Structure 1
Amino acid sequence: MTRLPLFSPHGFVVSRRMFGEPMFIRVGRELSLIAAGKSYAGGSEAALSDQKSQVTRNNHYVPQMYLRHWSTNGNTVLDYRLLVHYKGEETWKRSSIRSTCSWQDFYSQHLPDGIDDSVETYFSQRYETPAAPVFQKVEADASLSANEMRILVEYLVAQLFRTPSAMIRHTSLLRREFAPTAEAAVNRGVSALRLKGLGFAYPSADEGAVQAPFPNIPIHSRLDEERLEIVVSTSCGRQGFLASIGSILGGAVPRVLLSYPWVILKTPRGAELPTSDDPVVVFRVEAGDKVVIGGGMGVQYTNIMLPLDPRHVLFTEVGMDFYQLAALKMDRRLFDIMFEAIIKNAFLHVFSRSSIDDIGSYRPRRVDPERRGSLKNMIAKWDEVQWAIENDYL
């Protein structure tokens, strides 16, 4: 059986027959993506290789600063891997923090003057650097100012949308929403054509919705005169994902989450929480303390949390007021709920300061050498494949 990699570069095409004829949707894969010796916008492939050495290519989607709070030596962290080659693999391994939760060129962009790492730099300077001393104060049980709490919430928001898990969520949303959104845009264009006789104006993204240093949303639109169709297309992949981050961080989501009251909860004495490669957890608790991952961040009773270290959690519940949250204490029941939610929310890795003997009862490992190999191969070719896609949307 042929299996697709975790991030398969699909494209979406929406066509609308003009002049009142029925609309139809075509969804299909992108064309062949890799061409040997291809020349890129900034010059030859060889020239860009030289420029790559001057930029940050090993992009960490979970910062090293954050993971060190689960390390006992500052260099490695205990790692429970959810996708393994064979059943006999050691349950807990020590992984280098330098190479954990990292992805070569995950955030890189190809610009006319070479490869650009400004998104990685932006995350570091805008969120990680201000948050680092606040994390230290939390670990020391020091009191935080209102501004320091704001820094932690801003860090949480950025972390929520910058991971491979976030990319999967973005792709899923794009599959559901691109066709109706594009149809509405095309309908507006057709109405303008009928009413004003000005010809079709190519729909484009609202440039104000995406903030620097993130790229614009990759959208193509064209008029097929022979078939009398307006064709609008986009692609899944790095550029669209980065554009979505820029749109979110510059939009209403941070304002809404910052408007909620937040609290830092401390675990019961002697109890420690793990974290993961998708550390911000959005979840609901249903009857019988059943943990359900996901939920609307504007929907009452949705819980949002980020473990700050093994003993402290940044937490809010939508609908709770400041006084309710201030009175909240993490008893053993709430600890167990959070513990389960963190593990269930993990993408490929769970990290802990000490091994958890029964972790398999919360989340058993998947033994799949083919999928593991496919993932490794996809990451190795990531930049080459993504740039080939992006080159079509310049």
Structure 2
Amino acid sequence: MHQLRKDNHYVPKLYLKQWSHEGLIPTYRLLVPNEKVPLWKRQSLKGIAYRQHLYTYLVGQEETDKFERWLDSEFENPAEEAIRRVVHEERLEPEHWRRLVRFAGALDVRTPAQLRRFIIRQKVTLQELIDTTLQRSIQELENTVARGESIPRLADDAHDDAPSIFKVSIEELPEGGGQIRAETVVGRQLWIWQMKHSLSTTLSRLPIENWTILDAPVGVSWPTSDDPLIRLNLHDSGRYDFNGGWGNRGGIILLPLSPKHLLYTCIGSRPVLRGSKVDVATAHLMRKIIIEHADRYVFSNELSDIHLIRPRRVCAATHKNEQAFWQRWHHEQSQAERELQS
């Protein structure tokens, strides 16, 4: 029996260590309770960018960390050598590029910032999706029975380790017949299911040919954040937004890999040579974009002017409410998961 991993680092330590010195990383907090909090604090890699039980979920009545371990074995550990080669400017084989892109894909979905976006999106779209799926499934079952074919059944152990995301029941009606009812909880288990599905299907087929590494010019360094993967749409007016997709032609995806090295692609365009230096004006714009995309923390290898680019929010009530949310997180999610399985 292994010990349950309850401290879930949504930004891996093996990634953040590129900005650290002697195990400490300069951290700029974007939400603080009062003005007395210093602008910068050197944090241990172990003590930053994690939440307890962020990825824990219930299988039956038992807690499991299978998703955390899956992220580790499939995305983090395989990328470690590739990141080392980038930082030391050594040769990258196609397999190293593949692992970097997979690592970037995992960073795109696993952060608390993405969790909030996921919950907002599901509250808007999930009901219609469930209704459509149920209607289609019922029609397919009725057609199968009408043709005299047997209804396929899943193996009993087909999803033993999968989150239980839906509860389906059939209610008999007094006038005859019945209605089918599907319930779910927009929370941790649904999010984990969506992440695993996305990382196992869509992102697993991403091409690796159009990626490159851009170098920061002298006097500029790339920071990173607690929401480090950026999907950028650039508009003709010079405006940009963070709603880009992995398949949007002309969209830009970037991920700082060290204070000097930036993983970069412009979808559908031929990449520039690896190691090309960004001009100073573009580098300052990219740096600004990285800082603007941060959720609660910006990380840098130096104490810099980030507070001038992105002033922090000082609000005791918001800070207190957010801390209380995460203190309740595991208990509330576990309780909802148990009720869904009952």
Normalising by structure 1, we get a TM-score of 0.76
For these two proteins, the number of residue pairs brought into alignment is: 329
Identity of aligned residues (%): 28
- Structure 1 residues 152-231: aligned runs within 5 Å: 152-191=100-139, 215-216=162-163, 218-226=165-173, 229-231=179-181
Q: Which moved more, 1:221-230 or 1:178-187?
A: 221-230
* Counterpart mapping for 1:37-52 below 5 A: none
1:269 aligns with 2:240: no
1:99 is matched with which residue?
Answer: 47
CA distance 1:221–1:213, shift in 2 (3 Å): closer
State whether residues 214 and 243 of structure 1, in contact with CA within 8 Å, keep that contact through their aligned partners in structure 2: no
Given that residues 212 and 246 in structure 1 are in contact (C-alpha distance below 8 angstroms), is that contact kept between their aligned partners in structure 2?
no
Task: Map 1:66-85 onto structure 2 (within 5 A).
Answer: 66-74=15-23, 76-85=24-33
Any idea what SS the aligned residue of 1:98 has?
A: helix
1:108 aligns with 2:56: yes
Amino acid in structure 1 at the alignment position of 2:87: E
Aligned AA (1:345): H
Q: CA deviation at 1:390?
A: 0.7
Aligned partners of 1:215 and 1:239 also within 8 Å:
no
Match of 1:44 in 2: none
In structure 2, the CA distance between the partners of 1:346 and 1:148, relative to structure 1 (3 Å rule), is same
Structure 2 residue matching 1:335: 3-state secondary structure: helix
Q: CA deviation at 1:140?
A: 1.4
| Matched-pair contact (CA < 8 Å) for 1:61–1:101 | yes
Aligned match for 2:286, one of 332, 338, 341: 338
2:19–2:301: 8 Å Cα contact kept in structure 1? yes
Letter in 2 for 1:84: V
Hey, what's the Cα distance between the residues in 2 that align with 1:186 and 1:77? 49
Specify every segment of 5 or more residues in structure 2 that has no aligned partner in the other structure, as ranges. 147-153
Residue by residue over 1:307-360, the C-alpha shift from the partner in whole angstroms, topping out at 9 and shown as x without a partner, is 0000001100112024x5669641113212211111111111001111222x23
Instruction: Give the 3-state SS of the residue equivalent to 2:181 in structure 1.
Output: strand
Structure 1 229/274 Cα, relative in aligned 2: closer, same or farther at 3 Å?
Answer: same
The equivalent position to 2:70 in structure 1, one of 107, 122, 143, is: 122
* Structure 1 match to 2:182: 232
| In 2, Cα distance between equivalents of 1:140 and 1:365 | 34
Of 310, 314, 323, which aligns to 1:363? 310
Question: Match for 2:200 among 212, 235, 250?
Answer: 250
Contact 1:119 1:213 in 2 (8 A): no
User: Does the residue aligned with 1:172 lie in a helix, a strand or coil?
Assistant: helix
Between the aligned partners of 2:60 and 2:221, the Cα distance in structure 1 is 48
What amino acid does structure 2 have at the position aligned with 1:253? L
- Find the residue that maps to 1:126 and give its secondary structure: helix
- What residue identity is the alignment partner of 1:294? N
Q: 1:290 offset after TM fit, Å?
A: 3.1
Distance 1:231 1:317 in 2: 44
For residue 158 of structure 1, what is the amino acid of its counterpart?
Answer: A
Contact 2:57/2:64, CA 8 A, preserved across alignment: yes
Pair 1:124–1:189, CA change in 2 (3 A): closer
Q: How far is 1:126 from its partner?
A: 1.9
Note if 1:142 corresponds to 2:90.
Answer: yes
The alpha-carbon distance between structure 1 residues 144 and 212, as it changes in their structure 2 partners (threshold 3 A), is farther
Specify which of 306, 316, 337 is matched with residue 390 of structure 1: 337
Report the 3-state secondary structure (helix = DSSP H, G, I; strand = E; otherwise coil) of the residue aligned with 1:392. helix
Give how far 1:146 is off: 1.4
**Aligned mates of 1:213, 1:296 — CA distance in 2:** 32
1:380 equivalent to 2:327? Answer yes
Q: Which amino acid aligns with 2:239?
A: K
**TM superposition shift of 1:214:** 6.7
Residue 304 of structure 1 aligns with an amino acid whose one-letter code is: I
Question: 1:313: which partner in 2?
Answer: 262
2-side partners of 1:321 and 1:264: how far apart?
13
Query: Could you tell me how far 1:388 is from its partner in structure 2?
Result: 0.5
Q: CA 1:189–1:67 in 2, change beyond 3 Å: closer, same or farther?
A: closer
Distance 2:226 2:299 in 1: 8
CA RMSD of aligned residues (A): 2.7
2-structure distance, mates of 1:362, 1:130:
35
Deviations 1:88-114 (A, max 9, x none): 321111222111011111111233584
| Structure 1 position 304, deviation (Å) | 0.4
Offset of residue 180 of structure 1: 1.9
Partner-residue secondary structure (3-state), 1:271: coil
Asked whether the 8 Å contact 1:343–1:362 carries over to 2, the reply is yes
Alpha-carbon contact 2:115-2:191 (below 8 Å) kept: yes
Letter in 1 for 2:84: Q
